[in-house]
Structure formats: structure tokens, C-alpha cells
Structure 1
């Protein structure tokens, strides 16, 4: 699921931002949760920790707690979150370097520029990595390079494209729940084709009721009960991409 946070103390501006985001997401084939606030003090720690993309006003009129404060806290709780500032004042831009702001959108150009900025933010999300602990080392696996994940008991193995070979892939084993990974990676184009397999749809070459064929000639079993739903999801994703 993709979690989006929008915060602006001007309700009319907040509504405009939310409408633009919803228009961009109209054909998005992933579950999305949008949380919108006019009062920054009501944003919970859990909301920030789960946020994937944040659209924040910077300067609030009736409180000293502002969008930059939210961004600092967000960056602490979720280092990979994509932050877009929507503001009347471009002079705040230098402060954005502190929180690694992705884009600035001036409110006077909201309709023209927010759609593009948000589309780019979605693309940025697709460049993320999966951080795992493998043999006492933290490894960041680029999501685009992961072919699939396989679970055996409590151990998950990631099969990752090898940039040095067109005929093989690397493997990384770590402890995790495949169901948790499924929820986390759903918005990144990963599909649970079987209770044991979570597959990156970009590497599926053929998807049939009993098996899926991936790049490198890899063949995986397909869960027959969820086949119809998964095939539909795959075809929708393929059409979108």
C-alpha cells in the first residue's frame, strides 16, 4: 500500500492538492491511503513512520510548528520518504537541503506543476531499495534488480539480477515475513503468485495457471486459487507500464 501525507493549514489549498493527487492516482493499480491535515500537530508518529510521499506547506499562520518541522521528523522516522514542499515562498528552498526535499512547488503554479512533481515522486519511489540484514551485514538491494523472493520456513531468499552476467542471478538470504514484504512491495510492482513466491512483475515473461516463467528461464509454481485475481492484476500492471 502507498501512504501519502498532505498538510496545509489552508483548507481550500489542501483540497486542491488532494484533488490533483487523486487525479494522478486514478489509474494507479495499487492500494493507496491519503491522509490530509490542516493541523500539523494532529499528525501522529505512526503516520509519519508509514509515509511514502509527503506534500507539505512550509509556513503555517497559526502555529510555530511548520512544514519544515514535519519534514525533519519524517526524515528521522522514514529516511526513504519523498518530500514535496508546496509553498508561497521560494526563499525557503535552501532549508530543504537539510531534509533532502525532492521538489518545491509554488502555490501560484500549483495546477501546472504539482501534477508533474507528484508523478516524478512516484517514479522516485520505484528507484528505492530493500534493506536486509544478510550475514550480519546490512545490504541495500535495488528493487528494480530483484527478480523474486522465496520463503522457506522463516527464511527469505532474494534472487537478484547480476549486472555482470546475463545468465545468472545473485542470492541473498535473510529472516523476514513474506506477507510483510508483500504489503511493503505491493506498490512497487511485486505480485504474490504463490504462498512461497513474491515476484517482480517486470521480469515475468509468461504467466499461466500452473507456472510463471521469468527472465533467465526461471520457472515458478503459481497458486491456482488466486490465479484469476493475480492474472488480472498482472495484466493491469503490464498495461500501465
Structure 2
């Protein structure tokens, strides 16, 4: 039986230098702990339409936006579990619907337009999404190295640090090696705070002291913009100008 989960929370993003990251980690020590997975390489395949309707709409910063991806926390063999995730954002609140399926089954469902083998509210939402955006296909492979920390007080406050964020437009497989074009500058880290409430005072004081301010950073959005810039540059190089 497929595992299912639903999440509702705020996700606040910050771009840090190496020095800022070390200072935040120091401040976190009395309050948070690295989860048992340590540093994990996360692999994602994002789905979109032929004209990138989903990400173009997302970059317009509407009050409501959504995306679909398949995610793995390891190099996935056919029988390994992966997550089919529908992620929605409405007025800064993130809602995530998640199903767990074997990698080969999940990919074949989208490759051959097969129905999900699950009957549930989450499955219905994903199926409606697939029907509404009729020509969905794998668009981008996106990976990154993540360290995730949880709160020692038992609350839902979490902090993640993502580094070595890479994307590519080919070899869109969760079973392949991690490689691609980097989206962060040297020494940069993307920190995400995930919470259903506000920030603890110690974290607010730390961010203020370090002069760290929240930013808008969509990994898939950055990859798309990079793809479009690269495409325009390649087109200019290949244009023959007649003088």
C-alpha cells in the first residue's frame, strides 16, 4: 500500500555565506539537532507542460501556485520507494500532498499516462492536476545536498541547509548519477525555515544580528531562468548576421 502524507506550513528562505551558515549553526546548537540521515543528496524530477506553463506562472508570483515532482533521497532502483509530490502555495502557506510508490511504477504512470494505483483524497488531487495540465512531461532533473535539523522541544520547527544545487535538462532519471549546472555561487548555502507558526526568538535575534534577510528562491524557477538565458545565448551565437 502506498504511504501518504499531507503537510501545511510556512517555508522561509535565506541565502547565506559560509560564515553566516557557521554562525547560524552555532546559535542552533542548544535548540536543534541534525536528523539521523545526516547530509542527504535529494533528487527531483519536475513535471511541466511543453511551454513550461507551470513554472512561468509561478515566476509571476501569483497568490496561488502549484507544481508536481517525483523525489528520491537516494539513487533509486526500480523497487525503491520514491515520493510523488503535489506542492501548492497559497498566500505564503505551503501545502504538500505526498504519495510513496516504487520508482519504476511511479515513472511508468507518468511516462505512459496511467492512473495512480491508489484511491484517496491525495490521489484525486494529483489526478485532477494531471488532467488539468494535460501535456505534462519530465522537464528538469534537480538535485542538492541537504542537512536537516529538527527542534529539540518536540515542535515542528525545522531548518534545512541546501548546497551544491544542480540542474539538467537531459538524463531525467532518479537512478542516474548526480551532475548538472550549479545554481548557487561559490560558498553559498540556501537555508529554509519550515514551521507552522512563527520563528523562535533565538532564531530571530540570530538573523537580525547577522543581517540575514529572507529571499525569494525557487530552485526550479532558477533552473528555468538559467535555461532560458542559456537558450537565448546559444541562439545569438548561432545567428548568422549579414553585414
User: By the TM > 0.5 criterion, same fold?
Assistant: no
**Higher alpha-carbon Rg:** 1
TM-score by length of 1: 0.25
More relative contact order, 1 or 2 (CA 8 Å, 6+ apart) = 2
Higher percent of residues as helix = 1
